[in-house]
Amino acid sequence: MTENHRETIRAFIAVHLPGKLLDRVAELRAALEPHQGRARIKWVRPGNMHITLKFLGEIATASVEPLGRALRKELGAVRPFDIELAGCGSFPPRGRPRVLWVGVREGAERLKELAERVEDACAGLGFARESRPFRAHLTLARVKDSRGIERLTRAMEQQAGFVAGRCRCDVVYLIKSELRPEGPRYTVLDTVALEG
């Protein structure tokens, strides 16, 4: 076995968003942060925000090239489409929140179809299919300790009408994620244009 087959990286497949939308999401975060209270929240840096289509976890570096080919084959005929980031909430919808998110109003169904095609491409290479249903969203923060989060939850409810804006979804990215104390560092490994 070559060295390349033994090396692994942490990876995922996602859609990036333009800076103007991320600036609006940063404004939402700034409005919510003062309501954090005692809750321990890990806010996602705006530059790291994206819409995840599939989290792959640890993969062999040797699988990066075949993944890119499989994604191009499966996604190449998909037509670009518009998405609108709007609304905010938390997962799970009931009980103690674990993830704070910004939703996708327009284009959510198309993103779901795109995620299904990504699943098909990855399954063809032996990757396990995701067991949970796909929900298009942008992760705003992860809740580490939800004690005292009620103030933040109420503030999010007041922001239910939040609209970040619209953008074109025309590229899918295969991304390497390196976990670091200061937060993850992402590196684009491959890009797949939607050219249908």
The residues near 58 (Cβ < 8 Å, ≥ 6 apart) are 8, 9, 10
Please compute Rg for the chain using Cα positions.
17
Helices (H), ranges, the chain: 3-6, 19-32, 64-75, 108-123, 150-158
- pLDDT of 153 above 60: yes
Listed residue (39, 3, 47) closest to 23, CA to CA: 47
Q: At 5, is the pLDDT very low, low, confident or very high (cuts 50, 70, 90)?
A: low
- pLDDT of 3 above 80: no
CATH number of residue 102's parent domain: 3.90.1140.10
**pLDDT computed for residue 1 by the predictor:** 39
Percent of the chain with pLDDT over 70: 97
**pLDDT computed for residue 94 by the predictor:** 82
Bridge partners (DSSP) listed for residue 193: 171
- pLDDT of 133 above 80: yes
- pLDDT of 2 above 70: no
In total, how many domains does the chain have?
A: 1
- pLDDT of 92 above 60: yes
Tell me whether residue 35 is one of the annotated catalytic residues: no
Residue pLDDT, tens place only, 6-49: 799 999 999 999 999 999 999 999 999 999 999 999 999 999 99
Residue among 5, 16, 35, 137 flagged as catalytic: 137
pTM score, two decimals? Answer: 0.93
| Interatomic CA distance for residues 43 and 13, integer angstroms | 21
- 3 state SS of 107: coil
Listed residue (23, 21, 46, 36) closest to 155, CA to CA: 36
| Interatomic CA distance for residues 136 and 191, integer angstroms | 20
Q: Which range marks the domain in which residue 85 is found?
A: 3-193
User: Which pair of structure tokens corresponds to residue 27?
Assistant: 């404004």
